[in-house]
Amino acid sequence: MRKDKILVIGANGQIGTVLTQALREKYGNDNVLATDIRTSEQLNEPFEILDILDGEGLSNIVKKHDITQIYHLAAILSANGEKNPRRTWDINMSGLFNVLEVAKEQSLDKVFFPSSIAVFGTHTPKEKTPQFTFLDPATIYGISKAAGENWCQYYFDKYQLDVRSIRYPGVISYQSMPGGGTTDYAVDIFHKAVQGIDFECFLSENTRLPMIYMPDTIRATLELMEAPREKIKVRSSYNLAAITFSPAEIAKAIQQHFPNFKISYNPDFRQAIADSWPASIDDSEARNDWNWKEEYNIHQMTQDMISQLSKKYNLIP
Ligand code: NAD
Ligand code: SER
């Protein structure tokens, strides 16, 4: 068995910042190389600049550091993606393609590719969306993730590449800010609430979307990646569920801590994106195949977000 050496691509993002830290705690600081197209003060060494569109640069890094696993997080998310669809397609698709090729060419042990609830569309069942269903994504981000899932399946079938994937719900975190998605409001609302600022939501009050707290996101990712190979039956991407709520419901949960907190609604172009996504997810396959189970419900998450952000802003909750 060769030693695990991990490469994280897109490590400076909302998930990468926290996942890189968790991987370093597990595998040892020096065995986890963080890379991104931009630097950040939040990540320690080892760090290298890498543009995922630079396939040769990626290949050289993998060789130089004897990388055995890649966590490929770099992408343009749903809302930002709509601003420049062609570039979003290039980064999300060519980026994944570079990763899959280098993993095949250099016989890597494993690859992680995050997909999203954005692969679903207006013709997908909205409640308890099944694992295997019609995919008609409405955004270029969703189109690229759905195509990416199929590429992962293809590389597994054709080259036996051990690539694993989760369709993350909207991720909520206190450690890092989200990078231009449709679920970003559910992070911003906490920042406003703890600072005593009223919140104007870009989605309408009853728009229910699947969400997940960051500790559950990280645990799900590590549990999927550590599961025995034969347990992983879905090689496109696993549905994953944790919490579902609307802006009105999360505001109500926050008001239990801050009774004076006020929310108003001013839906913008992101409303149409949210309307095309499921409200809840059936993740039976993840639960059966690798024993997924969330730990945080809406109230536990709210309590922890408020307590952590209050510390961050030096406020007493
Ligand atoms: P993010 O936008 O916060 O981070 C993405 C990172 O990729 C950024 O640090 C950015 O600098 C980097 N990046 C962009 N272009 C790059 C390039 N050409 N080369 C190298 N790096 C580049 O995103 P995130 O929320 O951390 O998401 C990580 C992954 O998880 C993405 O693939 C995203 O689609 C997926 N995902 C996220 C969520 C969520 O709610 N955050 C939900 C579903 C899926
Ligand atoms: N949370 C992400 C977004 O809103 C979904 O992948 O774009």
- Quick one: average pLDDT of 53-63? 98
- Quick one: average pLDDT of 184-189? 98
pLDDT reported for residue 317: 54
- To test the ligand 1 pocket, which listed residue (8, 20, 36, 237) has its Cβ within 8 A of the most ligand atoms? 36
Distances (CA, A) of 309 to 13, 54, 187: 18, 37, 11
Q: Is the CB of 148 under 6 A from ligand 1?
A: no
Asked whether the bond before 317 is cis by omega within 30 degrees of 0, the reply is no
Q: How confident is the model at residue 259 (pLDDT cuts 50, 70, 90)?
A: very high
Directed axis angle between helix 95-105 and helix 55-64, to 10°?
Answer: 40
Directed axis angle between helix 185-194 and helix 247-255, to 10°?
Answer: 20
The CATH 3.40.50.720 domain(s) of the chain lie at: 6-169+214-239
- Tell me the pLDDT of the chain averaged across its residues: 97
Question: For the chain, how many residues are written?
Answer: 317
Class of the CATH-defined domain 6-169+214-239: alpha beta
The CATH 3.90.25 domain(s) of the chain lie at: 172-210+242-280+296-312
Q: Is the CB of 13 under 6 A from ligand 1?
A: yes
105 Cα: distance to centroid of ligand 2 (angstroms): 31
Q: How confident is the model at residue 42 (pLDDT cuts 50, 70, 90)?
A: confident
DSSP 254-279: HHTT-TT--EEE---THHHHHHTS-S
CATH number of 172-210+242-280+296-312: 3.90.25
Q: Report the distance separating Cα 1 and Cα 30, nearest Å.
A: 18
Please name which ligand lies nearest the alpha carbon of 58. 1
pLDDT, tens only, 94-139 = 999 999 999 999 999 999 999 999 999 999 999 999 999 999 999 9
Atom 3 (ligand 2): residue with closest C-alpha? Answer: 181
Q: What is the pTM of this model?
A: 0.97
CB-CB contact of 50 with 36 (8 Å): yes
pLDDT reported for residue 166: 98
pLDDT reported for residue 41: 80
10 Cα: distance to centroid of ligand 1 (angstroms): 6
